[in-house]
Amino acid sequence: GMQRKLSVAIAFVGERAVRVLDEPTTGLDPLSRQEIWSVFARRDESSCILLTTHSMEEADALSSRVAIMTRGITRCVDTPQALKERFGRGYLLTLDFVPHRAAEMRAFVDRCLGRDAHPADACLQTAKFEIGEDPILVSH
């Protein structure tokens, strides 16, 4: 923990237009994480911090803009609030299937999720279903 704190402190030495921090709070206890977040809050507003994190809580707390990447590709960029409004209404179930078994896949979804799964998108061998936030029973 102390070495990670030292790395963050070094990143804030001197005047820089951009500071790049790769998962600066990973593995830290909650108190240490909050201390580092407070350092970010006191930074000079004329500088930019490029931060990588797997924590949506951290991205929400520290960022004015968030880019979400999967497999090295940027999928979307927006404010934390706009991303929550767009994607935060439940779950997205993505299923890859063999084309000649599409009817069987759909029957499986209907049997397991019933009216709780709404088709969101389908393309070739992939189907996506939106599932609300309410708890559902998927196995017996």
pLDDT in tens, 35-74: 888 888 887 777 888 999 988 888 888 899 999 998 899 9
Q: What is the pLDDT of residue 52?
A: 93
Residues 73-90 have a mean pLDDT of: 84
Res. 111: pLDDT tops 70: yes
Residue with tokens 């299923």: 95
Q: What pLDDT band is residue 126 in, cutting at 50, 70 and 90?
A: confident
Domains in the chain with CATH codes: 2-87 (3.40.50.300), 91-131 (no CATH)
DSSP type of residue 123: E
Sign of CA dihedral 6, 9, 13, 15: positive
Q: Give the CA distances from residue 36 to residues 2, 4, 129, 135, in Å, rounded to whole numbers and listed in that order.
A: 11, 10, 38, 35
Q: Give the CA distances from residue 39 to residues 3, 93, 97, 127, in Å, rounded to whole numbers and listed in that order.
A: 16, 38, 48, 44
Q: What is the pLDDT of residue 138?
A: 62
Res. 140: pLDDT tops 60: no
CA dihedral 73, 87, 90, 24 (to 10 degrees): 60
Contact status, residue 124 vs residue 99, Cβ threshold 8 Å: yes
What's the alpha-carbon Rg for the chain, to the nearest Å? Answer: 21
Residues 6-11 have a mean pLDDT of: 87
If you count DSSP H runs as helices and E runs as strands, how many of each does the chain have, helices first?
A: 5, 7
Residues 66-94 have a mean pLDDT of: 85
Q: What is the mean pLDDT of the chain?
A: 84
Q: What are 13-46's pLDDT values in tens digits?
A: 888 889 899 999 988 888 888 888 888 888 777 7
